[in-house]
């Protein structure tokens, strides 16, 4: 498995990060991250035979039905089935992207990362994913809470990311008494100083017991006893910070959009007016434009095509998308990341066509991006 992360892969992560606020679940190997994730989602994310230790980073976003994709280190985005998530296959990917339906995902994306102390892995994947999160929920088992190795890694996290982050002391149910829990909690608050917005004990096992409990009063009592309710309250405050940062991110992308993008002009208005069908079905319009773009690329001879020629093709397809699909400025800021021209004169036409087509198809079909009038 190559651990060299191509610019195309980083660009795809940046495009996802531009769309929505996100936080990461991090911690050492076997720190209870997956159990806490399932408690937060209110469901098991993947079948029990798919264990978290068999996976790289998992980027979880909202979708009406379960959908899996794998992002390779080279930047290709491939559709996957549950059967593909064996360790031998999954570790070929920089991350697995999962769409599923959960209330929390309507507000924020979650990135479940490999343990930083997993002896089978380096921290390359974790450090890459850390670039695309607004804050972190750091998981530390309460009976071995906040070890020196955790502090050393946390000190490398940017201060802006640390400020809204939370320290979850997992497996709180393993302590002998609430007095012991309180004792560890006091020590961790002193040791972490201002490194976290909150330090909270939580028992995912107790939270799981609360899910099917009836009546509602019993369910709420169990949620509070597990610490999940307090964690969710703290999480809601951090998500508000993340949402604000995401809005600022998108604003910055708009301000730094390429100057080569053509300004609105009367000719553009006429082009929008012409085919009524494009306006009523923007996704179909995008598909037609991408197919035409693919044909043009296939007709080009790499040996006779300069970098400028290819970048001109990218510019043309962006211009066509602007007019025909009537994308707004936010959409264009994301497309700018997806439709990057080649960084050098060497290019693989077939791979480029596939990558651009997949990026645009994902863009057009994405639930976050309804192309309106």
Domain CATH code at residue 117: 3.40.50.300
**Residue 129 clears pLDDT 90, i.e. is over it:** yes
Of the candidates 208, 235, 255, which is a domain's last residue? 255
Is the same domain home to 288 and 236? no
pLDDT of the residue at 58: 94
Same domain? 243 vs 280 = no
Question: Does a structural domain hold residue 349?
Answer: yes
User: Do 250 and 270 fall within a single domain?
Assistant: no
Is residue 322 assigned to a domain?
yes
Let me know whether 148 and 56 are in one domain: yes
Single residue among 230, 255, 280 that ends a domain in this structure: 255
* Residue 244 and residue 110 share a domain: yes
Q: Taking a C-beta distance cutoff of 8 angstroms, is the pair 350, 302 a contact?
A: no
Distance set, CA 133 to CA 14, 107, 129, 176 (Å)? 10, 14, 7, 35
Residue 228 shares a structural domain with residue 278: no
| CA angle at 159 for the pair 157 and 161, rounded to the nearest 5° | 70
315, part of any domain: yes
Tell me the pLDDT band of 368, cut-offs 50, 70 and 90.
very low
Residue-level pLDDT at 255: 57
pLDDT value of position 136: 98
Number of domains the chain contains: 2
| pLDDT tens figures, 232-249 | 999 999 999 999 999 998
- Looking at every residue in the chain, the average pLDDT score rounds to 79
pLDDT at 298: 66
DSSP letter at 214 equals: S
DSSP 61: E
What per-residue confidence (pLDDT) applies to 337? 54
240 and 278 share a domain? no
Does residue 165 share a domain with residue 75?
Answer: yes
Domain stops at, among 195, 225, 255: 255
Residues 312, 315, 320, 321: is their CA dihedral positive or negative?
positive
Determine, yes or no, domain membership for 371: no
pTM of the shown model = 0.68
* Same domain assignment for residues 194 and 334: no
Region 254-271 average pLDDT: 48
Which pLDDT band holds residue 263 (cuts at 50, 70, 90)?
very low
The predicted pLDDT at position 219 comes to 82
Report how far apart, in Å, the C-alpha atoms of 167 and of each of 90, 130, 257, 339 are: 28, 16, 37, 38
**Residue 183 lies inside a defined structural domain of this protein:** yes
> Do the domain assignments include residue 320?
yes
Q: How far is CA 34 from CA 39, 40, 52, 110, 123, in A?
A: 9, 10, 7, 12, 18
Domain range for 289 is: 266-365
The Cβ of residue 232 has, within 10 Å, a number of other Cβ atoms equal to 16
Say whether both 246 and 132 belong to one domain: yes
Q: What pLDDT shows up at residue 347?
A: 52
Q: Which of 211, 167, 175 is nearest to 40 (CA)?
A: 211
Q: Which residue has the tokens 């043009």?
A: 296
């Amino acid at each position: 498995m190559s651990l060299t992360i191509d610019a195309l892969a980083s660009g795809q992560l940046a495009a996802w990060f531009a769309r929505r606020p996100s936080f990461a679940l991090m911690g050492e190997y076997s720190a209870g991250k997956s159990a806490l994730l399932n408690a937060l989602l209110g469901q098991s994310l993947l079948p029990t035979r798919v264990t978290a230790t068999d996976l790289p980073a998992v980027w979880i976003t909202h979708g009406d039905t379960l959908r899996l994709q794998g992002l390779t280190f080279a930047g290709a985005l491939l559709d996957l089935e549950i059967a593909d998530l064996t360790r031998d296959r999954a570790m070929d990917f920089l991350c697995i992207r999962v769409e599923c339906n959960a209330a929390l995902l309507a507000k924020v994306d979650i990135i479940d990362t490999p343990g930083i102390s997993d002896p089978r892995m380096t921290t390359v994947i974790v450090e890459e994913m850390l670039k695309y999160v607004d804050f972190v929920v750091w998981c530390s088992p309460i009976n071995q809470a906040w070890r020196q190795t955790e502090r050393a890694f946390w000190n490398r996290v940017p201060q802006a990311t640390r400020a809204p982050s939370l320290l979850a002391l997992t497996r709180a149910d393993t302590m002998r008494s609430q007095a012991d829990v309180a004792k560890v909690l006091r020590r961790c608050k002193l040791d972490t100083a201002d490194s976290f917005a909150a330090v909270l004990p939580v028992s995912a096992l107790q939270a799981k017991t609360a899910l099917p409990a009836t009546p509602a009063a019993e369910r709420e009592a169990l949620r509070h006893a597990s610490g999940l309710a307090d964690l969710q309250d703290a999480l809601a405050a951090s998500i508000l910070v993340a949402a604000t940062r995401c809005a600022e991110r998108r604003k910055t992308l708009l301000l730094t959009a390429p100057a080569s993008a053509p300004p609105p002009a009367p000719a553009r208005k006429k082009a929008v007016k012409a085919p009524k069908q494009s306006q009523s079905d923007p996704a179909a319009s995008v598909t037609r434009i991408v197919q035409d773009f693919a044909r043009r690329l296939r007709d080009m001879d790499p040996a006779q095509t300069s970098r400028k020629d290819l970048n001109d093709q990218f510019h043309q397809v962006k211009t066509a998308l602007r007019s025909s699909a009537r994308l707004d400025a936010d959409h264009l800021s994301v497309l700018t990341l997806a439709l990057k021209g080649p960084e050098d004169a060497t290019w693989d036409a077939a791979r480029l066509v596939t990558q651009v087509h997949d990026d645009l198809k994902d863009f057009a079909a994405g639930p976050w991006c309804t192309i309106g009038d």
